Amino acid sequence: MSEPTAKTLPSDAAAQTLRPDDPGPAAPGKDPRIGDLLKGTYTIERLLGAGGMGSVYLAQHALIRKKVAIKILAPEYAHKPELKERFLREARAAAAIDHDGVIEIHDFGETAGGAAFFVMEYLEGEDLAAVIRREAPLPWPRVRDIALQLCRALQAAHARGIVHRDMKPGNCFRLDRDGRDVIKILDFGIAKLQNPDEGVGQALTRTGMIFGTPEYMSPEQAQGERHDHRVDIYAVGVILFELLTGKPPFIADTFMGLLNKHMFDAPPRPRDVAPQADIPAAAEAVVLKALQKDPDLRFQTMDELAVALKGVDAGLAPELVPETLKAKPARGAPMQFRGADRPSRPTLPETTAPAFPAPFAPPPRRRWNLALVAGLAGAVLAAGALVLFTKSEPSDSAERTGPKEHAPVASSPDLLPLPPPAPVPTPPAPPPAPDLIAPAFSTVTVRIDTAGVAAEVLDEHGALLGHTADPHGLLLPRGEAERVLRLRAEGRAETRLKLVPSENRTVAVALEPLHPGKPTAKKGSKKPETRAEPPPPPAAEPAPKPKAEPKPTTSPDLISPFKK
Ligand SMILES: Nc1ncnc2c1ncn2[C@@H]1O[C@H](COP(=O)(O)OP(=O)(O)OP(=O)(O)O)[C@@H](O)[C@H]1O
């Protein structure tokens, strides 16, 4: 089978997702839909762009004059029920997530000609691919804020059993809100819904079918194997890599070449790719952990990734488990991933230098196996795989210098000298259920109203969880056990807040001034009462006098590479 090559792509092709029967670019000339009135309500004004399944138009709500974006299924698909269903699934998936970080869906219907459409919020901005082209490498604080928004939105999707499966910069829209990046995730066209009644879902998840965009495709997805929400974690790792360095970790001239690299090659270190970019060592470790080949060795949830991103500024780096990558195998044989237990961490002398002073050392041999026992082309043939992507790599890829081949490693012994941190429970990742159903990780949003006083929110161990000023609130793993949050603000006594994160809630907490004589609260503002919805109301109490600051630990995987 001859491989499709990048030469077959349009010269300006950004990373695009291909689906079966892609209609290709829209015909030139005036678009006959301009001026149409859909559902007697939406007047189509102009074409915003065309994608794999249809075209997106700017339209105006006739009554309230609000701008909206309408995606209309390409006419050639109108009478293909499976494609129509898939198209509407995109709308349903995004609507089901109902999160600020995900495109909002307002309405849906059919044109007079029978083409399905759905109406979404109109986003005035640009996608992250444009930001990367123009500005990358981006500075770490900006990357962190963008990535945290992606984590929140995807955690909300995963909590509802929805896996995006096509995360890429082109599907992340950036809005500029007073100079701040606000990110919305688009295009749930190949998302997997948890509901098995979604018949198309089954068709979309047969073993051997490959979906997504090669640059951002996890090894297990590239392999056409069953996969779960952790493919989104891998893809966010690729996006982070690109934001930080300006380049994706893997570049190849052919699609198969790209997939091969995702499956068999260790990613280069971001700081080698962009030495000028001042990437924190701990940020590099976060990216590499997200890019581990074995999904069991990645962050297991978007929340876990978010915790690691927040830990970077505190000098915390995640543990990277060495991966021994097998040589590219001969074609034809069956292919599978096999993860193994994490190796126990050796305890090294305390005198070890700070993390990442030297390149990653070769991994200990055969600590675990990543057994990939066949060439992709052979395996794809053997599995009868239907490859549902084909256009992706910009045609300039051949001119770009690919990253150097690196030793197949993903670990630094310098990260290992600390004694194992106290175990802190992280949400367990259920094993992938049959047919790729995402485990329902559950989180709650807690908003803490401190009457305008900006405070940091720390966990019991002193790890930063967020800020009370964050309009999104704090995302905590849902649970019935009481948590203690520490609120810290300048000029205020540290206050402990006890709550059970069993449901979304807003809590009002008065942060007492350190010097009670000096009024710092706004004049006339009443001392807020602790306000919590049942069950058990949280209790706020002044913290005991701070003792020696405990070593921040946020997850068993986060250990400080830096000596304090
Ligand atoms: N809600 C929206 N507001 C503004 N522009 C949008 C909106 N949704 C999509 N677009 C723009 O419309 C164009 C087509 O989007 P669409 O999702 O159909 O395809 P795509 O993501 O470019 O391609 P593919 O889905 O094949 O990867 C893109 O340029 C996208 O940025």
d(CA 241, CA 235) in angstroms, rounded, equals 10
Q: Is residue 360 included in any domain, yes or no?
A: no
71 is in an annotated binding site: yes
d(CA 162, CA 157) in angstroms, rounded, equals 5
Return the active site residues: 166
* 63 lies in the same domain as 137: no
Is the CB–ligand 1 distance for residue 56 below 6 Å? yes
Is the CB–ligand 1 distance for residue 167 below 6 Å? no
Candidates 461, 459, 426, 414; CA nearest to 317 is 414
* 75 lies in the same domain as 186: no
Helix (H, G, I), strand (E, B) or coil at 362: coil
Q: Is residue 399 included in any domain, yes or no?
A: no
Residue 459: its pLDDT value, please?
A: 76
* 112 lies in the same domain as 232: no
| Domain ranges, residue 298 | 125-329
- Give residue 51 CA to ligand 1 midpoint distance, Å: 6
Q: Is residue 403 included in any domain, yes or no?
A: no
* 95 lies in the same domain as 133: no
d(CA 190, CA 75) in angstroms, rounded, equals 19
For residue 48, give the ligand 1 atom closest to its CA: 12
Per-residue pLDDT for the chain (564 aa), expressed as one digit of tens each? 333 332 222 222 334 443 333 333 444 567 889 999 999 999 999 999 988 788 999 999 988 999 999 999 988 887 888 888 878 877 888 888 989 999 999 998 999 888 999 999 999 999 999 999 999 999 999 999 999 999 999 999 999 988 998 899 999 999 999 999 999 999 876 666 544 333 323 323 333 445 668 899 999 888 877 888 999 999 999 999 999 999 999 999 888 889 999 999 999 999 999 999 999 999 999 999 999 999 999 999 999 999 999 999 998 999 888 877 756 655 433 333 333 333 332 222 222 222 222 222 223 322 222 222 223 333 333 332 333 332 333 322 222 323 323 322 233 322 222 233 344 444 444 333 222 222 223 455 678 888 888 888 887 767 667 778 876 676 666 566 778 888 899 899 988 888 887 777 788 888 988 886 654 444 344 443 333 333 444 455 554 444 443 433 333 344 333 322
Q: Is residue 558 included in any domain, yes or no?
A: no
Is the CB–ligand 1 distance for residue 94 below 6 Å? no
Most ligand 1 atoms within 8 A of CB, residue of 187, 188, 389, 392 to mutate: 187
Most ligand 1 atoms within 8 A of CB, residue of 17, 42, 56 to mutate: 56
**Complex ipTM value:** 0.97
Helix, strand, coil percent content, the chain, rounded in steps of 5: 25, 20, 55
* 106 lies in the same domain as 140: no
Q: What is the CATH number of the domain that holds 245?
A: 1.10.510.10
For residue 54, give the ligand 1 atom closest to its CA: 18
Within 8 A by CB and 6+ apart from 275, the residues are none
Within 8 A by CB and 6+ apart from 325, the residues are 264, 265, 266, 293, 370, 372, 408
* 91 lies in the same domain as 135: no
Is pTM beyond 0.90? Reply is: no
Q: Are 336 and 220 in contact (CB under 8 A)?
A: no
Q: Are 211 and 388 in contact (CB under 8 A)?
A: yes
Is the CB–ligand 1 distance for residue 49 below 6 Å? yes
Q: What is the CATH number of the domain that holds 493?
A: 2.60.40.3070
d(CA 61, CA 252) in angstroms, rounded, equals 45
Instruction: Tell me which of 287, 311, 329 is where a domain ends.
Output: 329
3-state secondary structure 271-302: HHHCHHHCCCHHHHHHHHHHCCCCHHHCCCCH
Is the CB–ligand 1 distance for residue 122 below 6 Å? yes
Is the CB–ligand 1 distance for residue 215 below 6 Å? no
* 156 lies in the same domain as 208: yes
* 190 lies in the same domain as 98: no
Q: Are 188 and 255 in contact (CB under 8 A)?
A: no
Dihedral angle of Cα 225, 229, 233, 239, to the nearest 10 degrees: 80
* 209 lies in the same domain as 252: yes
* Cα→Cα distances 445→155, 465, 477, Å: 12, 12, 9
* 461 lies in the same domain as 502: yes
Q: Give the residue whose CA is nearest to atom 19 of ligand 1.
A: 51
Residue 122: its pLDDT value, please?
A: 96
For residue 126, give the ligand 1 atom closest to its CA: 31
CB atoms within 10 A of CB 22: 17
Give me the number of domains the chain comprises.
Answer: 3
Q: Is residue 172 included in any domain, yes or no?
A: yes
Dihedral angle of Cα 534, 537, 538, 542, to the nearest 10 degrees: 160
Q: Is residue 149 included in any domain, yes or no?
A: yes
* 318 lies in the same domain as 190: yes
d(CA 34, CA 188) in angstroms, rounded, equals 25
Residue 327: its pLDDT value, please?
A: 63
* 238 lies in the same domain as 289: yes
- Give residue 192 CA to ligand 1 midpoint distance, Å: 19
Residue 486: its pLDDT value, please?
A: 87
d(CA 265, CA 250) in angstroms, rounded, equals 9
